[in-house]
Amino acid sequence: MGRKKVSLQRIPNDAARRATFRNRHDVLVKKASELSTLCNIKACVIVYGEGEAQPEVWSFVDEVVPILHRYKAMPEIGQCKKTVTQEDFLRQRIDKLKRQVHKAVQENRELDTACLVHKAMLGHLPRLEGLTVEEAANVGWMVQMKIKSLGDRIANLQAHAWLQLYAQPAPSVMYAQQAIRRLGSTR
């Protein structure tokens, strides 16, 4: 059973925040230890706790220093390759939400236009009276798309109909086959 999705925002309650920090810190250290053991890699965890002057370091000191030197020796592009700041994370999240909102608005607009097309087809909107210029243009566009879609569907069905006609034997051959079967069953 998985965890529920956690909203990434600061926990306002101090006691709850400290308890969450302790739990998550312990899990982080355990995962780093497992990763180091299972994959035979060198790993370290450096955590600056809230209000603490010195960071808490997990790993042996003789392992941490070479890891940090190796990290600092990497080109800046390698260091920042998958690093995400809180600001970048929030910006990505906002962009994703904006795309979702834009998509939902577009879908709603198309559904509204489809509803107007259906009303017009049922005769509830004679000559499209009462529509704005934009709504009328959208209705016209949707009708054109439906006509094009129907034309494509008709062409597709006609192509398949020709294939089925060629696949079926000629009627005279079918009658001959039926007659032979009847003669065979009467004997």
Per domain, the residue ranges of the chain are: 14-82, 88-169
**Over 90: is that where the pLDDT of 83 sits?**
no
pTM equals 0.46
Q: Which tens digits make up the pLDDT trace of 108-137?
A: 999 999 999 898 888 888 888 888 999 999
Residue 67 has pLDDT above 90, yes or no: no
Q: Distance (Å, rounded) from C-alpha 93 to C-alpha 5? A: 15
Closest C-alpha among 104, 100, 132 to residue 116: 132
- Report the alpha-carbon angle 110-114-120, nearest 5: 145
pLDDT at 52: 78
Burial 152-165 (b: 16+ CB within 10 A, else e): eeeeeeeeeeeeee
* Among 28, 11, 31, 9, residue whose Cα is nearest residue 19: 11
Spatial distance between the Cα atoms of 106 and 118, rounded to a whole number of angstroms: 18
The architecture that CATH gives domain 14-82 is 3-Layer(aba) Sandwich (3.40)
133-167 helix and 86-122 helix, angle to the nearest 10 degrees: 80
Q: Count of alpha carbons within 13 Å of 178, Cβ hemisphere only?
A: 7
Residue 23 has pLDDT above 70, yes or no: yes
Confidence of residue 102 (pLDDT cuts 50, 70, 90): very high
